[in-house]
Amino acid sequence: MSMTEDKLAGRTELENYLADQVDTAITNHNITVYYQPIIRTITGKICAFEALARWDDPVYGMITPSVFLAVLEATRQTHKLDAAMVDEVCRMLAGRQRNEQPLLPVSLNLSRMDFLAGDFFDIVEAAAMHYQLPRRLLRIEVTENLLAADTRITASLRRFHEAGYSVWLDDFGQGNSSLNVLKNTQFEALKIDLRFLAPFSPRAKNIIDSVVGMAKKMGIHTLAEGVETKEQVDFLTDIGCEQVQGFYFGRPMPMERVLAHCGKNGVLPEPLEADDCLSAAGIYEFDNKAPMILYELHNGRLRYLKATAAFDAALGKLGITSRNDLVRQTNPAAQDCLAAIRLGSMQAMKSGRKISQSFILQEALCLLEIVSISQYQQNRIFRCQLTVIPRTEVVDSFLLADP
């Protein structure tokens, strides 16, 4: 009895069929790549995609991924599927690059057999070179259980890092050694699957908040997958989770269909050249309880990326009804406040450090702290904290005191 036959002993006719047909399905393109959009929370735009295999069989029709993936794992054939996925993703990206269409990174899920059946790094590298693609367009995803199963995989991942590929830890928290994996292996990002924390209770929210906070302190980006409701999107945005993915934004589809679906809902791709800048802004420390905004300046025009209720309250103390009124400069207070923010932003950008300013507005002492975080082309991103202290005798005596 062959290894494949032994592994499939006692299985169904469908499972035996899939094990025997995988090579034919790959050759005939019955196995294809679908793409699920990944959304950056501070922009609401598509920043990447995850590549997912779909098997549309001429005999059995569309096969559920959990079924054919289990068969391929049992028969040690997942590396065949993953190699075909790499080639198809790279061919798609090369076509878009050739046609000058928007390009965004694509995540590839690797399995244990990818590392044990041969040198999968060489397969990915050869495809990137053949299709003349920058390595930043390909993200490598592995699960913590995979790393725990074989320490040799860590050494292989190091080659991806050193070559310039981004390596992500998928399903963080699902395994038994999450903290050890983080301690021993370098990752650019963690993926948190909300389905493992269902129901979306206050306790689950506290866990997610803690994981996102820990990742930020370690300089690791965060993505939540399995996002299905606006409540989840709003919560993840508030706690600083940088990217989200799930049925709320779209199911996996062929590339052109997923772009059309998202575009119909007003969700557009962001420029690839903005990725480093927006990633730096997303991971930067931001206190949701402080009067803060994260914003972009382009030719002096301010666009909010994130803001707190405390910032809105600070504006209210100055007679500025809303954030939009500040940008529109609907009254003299809004004009003066926006001018101070613009001036402080330019000073922070030139100095490369945090700028602190104070000024009197509407019978209140205003304290500004502005940090320049990142930039791409003519777009610059800043964080500003606005503290408003009502005028009192004590405040006036402080202001009039000799330095």
Per residue in 150-197, pLDDT tens? Answer: 777 888 899 999 999 999 999 887 765 567 788 778 899 999 988 877
Question: Among 39-48, 356-365, 379-388, whose mean pLDDT is lowest?
Answer: 356-365
Share of the chain above pLDDT 70, in %: 93
Interatomic CA distance for residues 21 and 345, integer angstroms? 61
Q: How far is CA 25 from the centre of its chain?
A: 32
Tokens of 292: 């803060």
336/73 Cα distance (integer angstroms) = 64
- At which residue do the structure tokens 């995989």 appear? 153
d(CA 136, CA 166): 7
Residue 395: predicted pLDDT? 58
Mean pLDDT of 227-254: 95
Query: pLDDT category, 1, cuts 50, 70, 90?
Result: very low
Mean pLDDT (the chain, rounded)? 90
* Segment 363-379 mean pLDDT: 93
Give residue 148's pLDDT. Answer: 67
Q: Is it the case that residue 391 has pLDDT exceeding 80? A: no
* Beta strands, E only, 237-282: 243-245
Are 384 and 370 contacting, i.e. CB atoms less than 8 angstroms apart? yes
List 148's β-bridge partners, or say none: none
Identity (one letter) of the amino acid at 350? K
Give the C-alpha distances (Å, rounded to integers) separating 147 from 179, 180, 351: 12, 10, 43
pLDDT band at residue 390, thresholds of 50, 70 and 90?
confident
Span 258-283, mean pLDDT?
95
Q: What pLDDT shows up at residue 3?
A: 42
Q: What does the block give as tokens for 146?
A: 């995979």
Spell out the residues 6+ positions from residue 234 whose beta carbon is closer than 8 angstroms to its own. none
Average pLDDT estimate for 7-34? 87
Is the bond preceding 199 in cis, omega lying within 30 degrees of 0? yes
Element (H, E) at 388: strand 379-390
Starting at the earlier edge strand, list the strands of the sheet with 355-361.
301-307, 292-298, 379-390, 364-376, 355-361
Q: CA-CA distance, 54 to 31, in Å (whole number)?
A: 6
